[in-house]
Amino acid sequence: MDVFGLLGNPVGHSLSPPMHEAVYEALGMDARYVTFEPAPEELETAVRGAAALGVTGLNVTIPFKEDVLGLVEPDDRAARIGAVNTIDFGTHPPTGHNTDAAGVLRSFAERGVDLNGSEAVVVGAGGAGRATAFALADAGARVSIANRTVDRATALADDVPDATGHGLDVLSERVPRADVLVNATSVGMNENVSPVPTEALHGELAVLDAVYRPLETRLLCEAAERGAVTIDGGRMLLHQGAAAFERWTGRDAPVDAMEQALYDRL
Ligand code: NAP
């Protein structure tokens, strides 16, 4: 039996278990997806123990994505982002990957959004903002990063090719001439507020909101009213999971089965 799982604290409300269990059922795999909540001081023991026990792969979530970086061999993108959300124990040493970036890119790709040469605005410079900014830049976008804490945005922009860092005040000027907009803050999660001024939105935008509770955030509703392409945070969550499964197994993920399991619960 293959054992996969999620390392985080807390992990009780995670949607990853049903999403991945749906894969095993669809493919007839003898596998389980288990959640683990080690104490922070036990993280290294947990990762080493998982390797020793033959665990096939782990996802990693808050608060361990950064700390796991030093416990595995990160690939180039995870090292640049500074965070690992997927550990592959099928390699020696175990490797670390960041499939949040793949989640962003696949979410735009499935809607036919061409990122190459685009003007992109990323709101947020935390974990999701970092993964998004690197992903968009790797795809050929010029990225403006806007964050409440300006220093975080400028520090991130120093690392991302062709990027600039700003405060949130830049949104009313940058969004009107952008092709792509991503909300990578927690603003809008379980609250009816948007991080982007309504009047800056327009019909030529493709907007991804990383927030997935609710799926229809105020930002996405306002963007849709102006004719923008809108992509909810469930797509990013779905595709990061699919990319992790593909990394672990080398098999194509049954995205339809994962989607149903996920969206049934969102
Ligand atoms: P994080 O590392 O804690 O970063 C939080 C970000 O939100 C920071 O940029 C922070 O700005 C900003 N922020 C928080 N409260 C704010 C406010 N009141 N006004 C303006 N900005 C505010 O969190 P994260 O891991 O990046 O997650 C961010 C969001 O993305 C969450 O909603 C999370 O659920 C979602 N997410 C979704 C996926 C997916 O697959 N769909 C994946 C990862 C994350 P400061 O730097 O100024 O504090």
- Which residue among 185, 235, 237 is best mutated to probe the pocket of ligand 1, counting the most ligand atoms within 8 A of its Cβ? 185
Q: Give the ranges where 110-174 is alpha helix by DSSP (H).
A: 127-138, 150-159, 171-174
Q: Pick the atom of ligand 1 nearest to 185's CA.
A: 7
Strands (E), the chain: 2-7, 31-36, 57-60, 73-74, 86-88, 95-97, 119-123, 142-146, 163-166, 180-183, 206-209, 229-231
How many angstroms separate the CA atoms of 256 and 254, rounded?
Answer: 6
Residues of the chain with pLDDT under 50: none
How far does the centroid of ligand 1 lie from the alpha carbon of residue 226, in Å? 25
* The two structure tokens encoding residue 89: 């124990």
CATH of the domain at 168: 3.40.50.720
CB 100 near ligand 1, within 6 Å = yes
Nearest to 105 by CA among 222, 206, 254: 206
Q: Are residues 176 and 208 in the same domain?
A: yes
Q: Are residues 197 and 111 in the same domain?
A: yes
Q: Are residues 204 and 113 in the same domain?
A: yes
Instruction: Report helix angle 255-263 to 233-249, nearest 10.
Output: 140
Q: Are residues 135 and 256 in the same domain?
A: no
How far does the centroid of ligand 1 lie from the alpha carbon of residue 6, in Å? 20
Q: Are residues 163 and 256 in the same domain?
A: no
Q: Are residues 197 and 86 in the same domain?
A: no
38-46, long-range: CB within 8 Å, 24+ apart, which pairs?
Answer: 38/7, 38/9, 39/9, 40/9, 40/64, 40/67, 43/7, 43/67, 43/68, 43/71, 44/71, 46/7
Query: What pLDDT shows up at residue 172?
Result: 98
Q: Are residues 207 and 129 in the same domain?
A: yes
Domain coverage including residue 10:
2-97+235-263
Q: Are residues 108 and 222 in the same domain?
A: yes
Q: Are residues 142 and 205 in the same domain?
A: yes
CATH of the domain at 240: 3.40.50.10860
Q: Are residues 184 and 112 in the same domain?
A: yes
Looking at ligand 1, which residue's alpha carbon is closest to its atom 9?
Answer: 124
Which one-letter DSSP state was computed for residue 162?
T
How many angstroms separate the CA atoms of 144 and 69, rounded?
Answer: 26
- Quick check: bond before 40 cis, omega within 30? no
Q: Are residues 20 and 86 in the same domain?
A: yes
Domain count of the chain?
2
Q: Are residues 183 and 147 in the same domain?
A: yes
